[in-house]
Structure 1
Amino acid sequence: MMSPLIARLLLLVCLALPLYGVEKVRNRGYRKDPDADKFGSCMQGPAGTSGREGNPGTNGIPGTPGIPGRDGLKGEKGECINEIFEEVWRPNYKQCAWNSLNYGIDLGKVADCTFTKLRTDSALRVLFSGSLRLKCKNACCQRWYFTFNGAECTGPLPIESIIYLDQGSPELNSTINIHRTSSVEGLCEGVKAGLVDVAVWVGTCADYPRGDASTGWNSVSRVIIEELPK
């Protein structure tokens, strides 16, 4: 007779054999191919050369105009500045000259010079330069002055020069007979624009008798007129 231990071993072997066959069949259906990892994915090769840039594309369809913007806020009121453009001043002058006037009158016009004044709001500068002389028996005084269109300057005062002699010789043809180059000069305002007759006169001084006057002896005499801006 078989021992109980051997009988138990035989029973376990009989039970285990069918289960081993089934597991083997199952594993055979799911066996992994050893070359699956080798051929199932591609290996990355070296990078290729860069391609050329493509041709520029054509312009797209123009967009529709946008919505007009709103008016901005009203600005502050600006300051009003008046600009004054002044006309460029151009020189305007004239000279009249005489060689040896030798004018021996004691009262009256000695010389004149016409001048065209361009503007009313300007001033005239006048100058007489020449030899003057006075002689007399007793005290005497002579006056040389300018006129403008026959009237002396009033803007602001007359333009004049005087010679006073306190004493002389008993006769007018004495040796006291000095001729000196002198000048009469000044600035006159208020003369209207246009043609102006500028003249030099000789006359007496107030409250003094006249003497024997002489103008422009043996020398050049001149009148210079210049228009100046105020």
Structure 2
Amino acid sequence: MMSPLLVRLLPLLLCLALPLYGSEKCTGNDAEKLNCTRHSGEGRATYLNNMYGSCLQGPAGTPGRDGNPGANGIPGTPGIPGRDGLKGEKGECVSEVFEEPWRPNYKQCAWNSLNYGIDLGKVADCTFTKMRSDSSLRVLFSGSLRLKCKNACCQRWYFTFNGAECTGPLPIESIIYLDQGSPELNSTINIHRTSSVEGLCEGVKAGLVDVAVWVGTCADYPRGDASTGWNSVSRIIIEELPK
């Protein structure tokens, strides 16, 4: 009895041996199967090929087309959670400043027939509450002013803020100069005119502000006989303005 290995190798050995023989006598059942008394090696190869399969490999066929994409697979299991990252640097603290909308802030002080006849000193004052330090103050004095003298003279009316003249940018003032005077101070040249002293001052701090009108002399000129607010209404108007 042949071993299984020998049975598998037998067709290969026969294929190798067939070309070595030109013809062979067929007997018994071989003659019926081959239908001849003598056959070439090619006939035997055909017979064995039918019996045991082909020994030779044919040419490669045409490659097939790609198949249709397969369906999605089953979702995988969740991964392992990642570790916490390194601690970041401390950020800067930024504070937002929300400014309130601007509201009008003004005041008026008025006097009826002030009739103040001083030549040097404070004429009138008016207190005002300033809301912001970065704002400006607009001031106005309106009233009757008069100056008389024998020779050339000059008087000056000006504003102060808490006792000091404005420095942002310059003082707020008005002057009256009289060149041709009268022989006597009580002469008929005695004209009273409604005039104004007006300006804008910056740099005044927030809080309570004493706004005052003063009368004084002009530089390098003698003073005369001054009068403020005669027989008429005088007023100080103060208004806070944004920059």
Q: 1:57 to 1:229 in 2, by over 3 A?
A: same
Q: Secondary structure at the match of 1:23?
A: strand
- Corresponding residue for 2:161? 148
Q: Please report how far the alpha carbon of residue 18 of structure 1 lies from its aligned counterpart in structure 2 after TM superposition.
A: 65
Of 9-18 and 145-154, deviating more is 9-18
Task: Work out which structure has the larger RCO, using CA pairs closer than 8 Å and 6 or more positions apart in sequence.
Answer: 1
Q: Please report how far the alpha carbon of residue 134 of structure 1 lies from its aligned counterpart in structure 2 after TM superposition.
A: 0.2
Q: Note if contact 2:121-2:216 (Cα within 8 Å) is conserved in structure 1.
A: yes
TM-score under structure 2 length normalisation:
0.61
Q: 1:89 to 1:43 in 2, by over 3 A?
A: farther
Q: For residues 190 and 144 of structure 1, what CA distance do their matches in structure 2 show?
A: 21
Q: Secondary structure at the match of 1:6?
A: helix
Q: Please report how far the alpha carbon of residue 228 of structure 1 lies from its aligned counterpart in structure 2 after TM superposition.
A: 0.4
Deviations 1:31-70 (A, max 9, x none): xxxx999999999999999999999999999999999999
Percent of pairs identical after alignment? 92
Q: How does 1:172-187 map to 2 (within 5 A)?
A: 172-187=185-200
Aligned residue pairs, count: 220
Deviations 1:86-119 (A, max 9, x none): 4210000000000000000000000000000010
Q: For residues 192 and 4 of structure 1, what CA distance do their matches in structure 2 show?
A: 117
Q: 1:173 to 1:41 in 2, by over 3 A?
A: farther
Q: 1:50 to 1:126 in 2, by over 3 A?
A: farther
Q: For residues 218 and 13 of structure 2, what CA distance do their matches in structure 1 show?
A: 177
Q: Please report how far the alpha carbon of residue 211 of structure 1 lies from its aligned counterpart in structure 2 after TM superposition.
A: 0.2
Q: Note if contact 2:15-2:55 (Cα within 8 Å) is conserved in structure 1.
A: no
Q: For residues 183 and 172 of structure 1, what CA distance do their matches in structure 2 show?
A: 25
Q: 1:61 to 1:135 in 2, by over 3 A?
A: same
Of 74-83 and 181-190, deviating more is 74-83
Deviations 1:7-29 (A, max 9, x none): 999999999999999999xxxxx
Q: 1:18 to 1:145 in 2, by over 3 A?
A: closer
Q: 1:229 to 1:60 in 2, by over 3 A?
A: same
Deviations 1:142-185 (A, max 9, x none): 00000000000000000000000001111001111000000000
Q: 1:18 to 1:156 in 2, by over 3 A?
A: closer
Q: 1:196 to 1:48 in 2, by over 3 A?
A: farther
Of 135-144 and 79-88, deviating more is 79-88
Q: 1:129 to 1:52 in 2, by over 3 A?
A: farther
Q: Note if contact 2:119-2:216 (Cα within 8 Å) is conserved in structure 1.
A: yes
TM-score under structure 1 length normalisation:
0.65
Q: Does 1:162 align with 2:175?
A: yes
- Corresponding residue for 1:59? 72
Q: 1:47 to 1:198 in 2, by over 3 A?
A: farther
Q: 1:44 to 1:177 in 2, by over 3 A?
A: farther
Q: 1:57 to 1:136 in 2, by over 3 A?
A: same
Cα RMSD (Å)? 13.7
Unaligned 5+ segments in structure 2 are 34-51
Q: Please report how far the alpha carbon of residue 222 of structure 1 lies from its aligned counterpart in structure 2 after TM superposition.
A: 0.1
Q: 1:165 to 1:37 in 2, by over 3 A?
A: farther
Unaligned 5+ segments in structure 1 are 25-34
Question: Residue 36 of structure 1: which of 31, 37, 45 is its match?
Answer: 31
